[in-house]
Amino acid sequence: MRVVGLDLAGSPKNSTGFCILEVEGGKTVHTRLIHSDEEILSDVTSADPDLVAVDAPLIYEGVRRNCDDLLREYGALPVTLKGMEVLAERGRKIASDLKRLGLDYIEVFPTASAKILGVYSKNDFTLQKNMMALDLKGDLNTKILSRDELDAVLASLTGFLYLQGQSEPVGDENGLVHIPLV
């Protein structure tokens, strides 16, 4: 099984965290930073994933979303904020492209996942150290990851839990975010 996690940046000028979680005799993560939509779609397609888990609003109709309100306790911001609107527009386009390519995808919120899984920290180094307890092999254990890469790992892990039936959707038809079951 293979799950791609994306921590999508609002602008291609900023880094998007990219993670491939491979599940075969254990869970191994491979991460990197990418930028353009073309690079994202090329890398996702090359990975041939069972699922793409994206940290960005994938549905946005210009109104406040119920899922964001429900996840406020975990730090979710309203999608109607200016910076979030830019991210939502890019997320909506990426979702459309993934659908056109025939790829399955879900929206996730890594901060909520980290808090639910008990590994959250505002400090990147501590977060990475805490995530090592999740029995993940690969880049998590061999190099210092950026926050974007750490969020991409959490996104891919949430996607894996989704495929295992160990996540729950939060929201409605205006936006559904998947978080781990407790």
Give the domains, in start order, of the chain with CATH numbers.
2-180 (3.30.420.10)
**Confidence band of 166 (pLDDT split at 50, 70, 90):** very high
How far is residue 3 CA from its own chain's centroid? 10
Question: How high is the pLDDT of residue 182?
Answer: 73
Q: Which of 29-33, 50-54, 77-81, 141-145 has the lowest mean pLDDT?
A: 77-81
Angle between helix 124-131 and 147-163 (nearest 10):
30
Residue 79 in contact with residue 65, Cβ under 8 Å? yes
How far is residue 137 CA from its own chain's centroid? 18
Euclidean distance between CA atoms 38 and 22, whole angstroms: 23
pTM of the model: 0.96
Euclidean distance between CA atoms 31 and 46, whole angstroms: 14
For the chain, the average pLDDT equals: 95
Q: Give pLDDT tens digits for 135-154.
A: 999 999 999 999 999 999 99
